[in-house]
Structure 1
């Protein structure tokens, strides 16, 4: 199978390397693999709303290539690819950025394509704290979606994903093309791109990325009260219900914690249950923090206080 039947090469690997600005521009005007998971609400670092702001040009897409995780991830990409080839007895080749023939706004920058096989390879690195996310054939959901997006653009039936975990643990798994997942993903991306083209607001979710995007988009300053849309009544009523439920849950949780602490007494560690089902609980002594009495410092040494004071950036706080 030739991917040329399904997609067009719009930038070679060499062009991406030497014209990074052009590549970032292409990414900003299309839906790529990392965008796909965000659109579905499955990207832990970015919301659909943040992607929408970027694609509509309302916020600048940050080039994070110089950040250490991204820098070392890129640096180790070849290492991961080489180790995959060594273990799986395969050959790979670098490629570039492709656009879907069916939906030109859907693009993909493949890490590698497998030589002599209708498949691609996605190379990842992560720290040791994320080891459980990759154990026993598990793949983080956002990367599964990314690979299905690549298969949607390329038409290929299979994608390998390899990850170097903590610098000393290597895993690789195969993801088969899933037509149902691809159909759902295609529909979601088409709908989302329509909202980009029409500047129609996507769904607002509860992710931290969405919260941060709203803060960056709306700086405030308009002090004159406004009347919110009718749907705000239902939203605020539900907000009140959830606040009450949260308080109830926190109170009960604290009660249970106190009962367990009473059982521990002066002991710092205890076990609940026996055998394989046993769970450890602890109530350990933590050293007290050393703090600065800022009010006293300001009163007695105002010059020192002024010299070392630092004001944080203004932010907005929601109340209801």
Structure 2
């Protein structure tokens, strides 16, 4: 399946997977929300895999089955999402400036004909050596810098591999605007093994949607927050539960609290000893590999001293300038020994 590209100097888009455009990019929001309920998109997959701290598999299941979910009342998250949408054109332009590759408008909502529940909406499309690829645009706070320095975070990798699964394309790029000041670009190749796993996970999940089987409650914060919202207004004083179900869970909770306390002590002990070994070095290598690093970062206050000097020429700027806040963060590179 192919459609005409929005750029006159780019080849037409071809989808080796047999995907088709089922909704135009400028479609009405109601139509967009309606079609999202007919399948699983790229943003659904990290949540289904337990990689989204804000959305759980249970919440995705509620949405896809048309059940009412109380809205998350979080003004900060809402504004962050709105800002991310508004900044997309800017991040796309930074991607092009850094790579020299185009960032073309997406073709609309795509659906695989052989797997009708496999949907995707791309942020942008690029061409590299005449071949099309996906472009995923992100905006993140400065606290996420370490997560993006070396590679694409796992949840975004899952999202991009799903995009490649639906389009049939062989590569993609991510461009993340960090703290509004730094754009980090990574390239990602198609991973057939991961795509096979994602299709299996998504297929099982969509089966639950179709037959009304609710996913099991998991241990994620997102599931806990969903349950808090669903049951925010209790109207019953008590309920009689099965003791054989409740008692093991109470024991599990008590044991977990003990293990957490012991684990925190063991974690701090190991990290402190690793820091002592590193000393003034940034990286520690063993057997020819980088085992861990302890880089130094700095944060400076956001004061416009030039404007301050213009408005208040007699002020002592040095008393306001201060020293930047510096910190070191331990990053493990050999996790599985």
Which TM-score applies when normalising by structure 1?
A: 0.72
Residues 1:239 and 2:253 aligned together: yes
Q: Quick one: distance in 2 between partners of 1:128 and 1:220?
A: 39
Conserved? CA contact 1:28–1:61, under 8 Å: no
How many Å apart are 1:3 and its aligned residue?
0.9
Which of 172, 197, 200 aligns to 2:213? It is 200
Q: Quick one: distance in 2 between partners of 1:175 and 1:212?
A: 32
SS at match of 2:62: helix
Q: Quick one: distance in 1 between partners of 2:70 and 2:132?
A: 33
How many Å apart are 1:169 and its aligned residue?
0.7
How many Å apart are 1:223 and its aligned residue?
3.4
Q: How many residues align?
A: 260
Q: Quick one: distance in 2 between partners of 1:102 and 1:203?
A: 28
How many Å apart are 1:276 and its aligned residue?
3.2
How many Å apart are 1:12 and its aligned residue?
1.6
Which of 106, 113, 121 aligns to 2:135? It is 121
Q: Which runs of 5+ in 1 are unaligned?
A: 261-270, 280-320
Which of 14, 17, 25 aligns to 1:13? It is 25
Which of 20, 29, 51 aligns to 2:38? It is 29
SS at match of 1:147: helix
* Other-structure match for 1:171: 184
Q: Which runs of 5+ in 2 are unaligned?
A: 1-12, 283-293, 295-337
Residues 1:41 and 2:50 aligned together: yes
* Other-structure match for 1:276: 281
How many Å apart are 1:130 and its aligned residue?
0.8
Question: Would you tell me which structure has more helix in proportion to its own residues?
Answer: 1
How many Å apart are 1:240 and its aligned residue?
3.0
CA RMSD of aligned residues (A): 3.0
* Other-structure match for 1:94: 105
Q: Quick one: distance in 2 between partners of 1:180 and 1:61?
A: 37
* Other-structure match for 1:70: 81
Conserved? CA contact 2:139–2:176, under 8 Å: yes
Conserved? CA contact 2:109–2:120, under 8 Å: yes
* Other-structure match for 2:94: 83
How many Å apart are 1:166 and its aligned residue?
1.1
Name which of structure 1's ranges 184-193 and 45-54 shifts more when overlaid on structure 2.
45-54
Question: Would you tell me which structure has more strand in proportion to its own residues?
Answer: 2
How many Å apart are 1:155 and its aligned residue?
0.6
SS at match of 1:33: coil
Q: Quick one: distance in 2 between partners of 1:62 and 1:178?
A: 35
Deviations 1:53-87 (A, max 9, x none): 11112224859999321222111111111221222
SS at match of 2:39: coil
* Other-structure match for 1:217: 230
Conserved? CA contact 2:139–2:177, under 8 Å: yes
SS at match of 2:135: strand
How many Å apart are 1:32 and its aligned residue?
0.9
SS at match of 2:117: coil
Residues 167/200 of structure 1: CA separation in 2 closer, same or farther (3 Å cut): same
Which TM-score applies when normalising by structure 2?
A: 0.69
Residues 248/121 of structure 1: CA separation in 2 closer, same or farther (3 Å cut): closer
Conserved? CA contact 1:122–1:160, under 8 Å: yes
How many Å apart are 1:103 and its aligned residue?
1.3
Deviations 1:201-239 (A, max 9, x none): 213222221012122334543335323385545434323
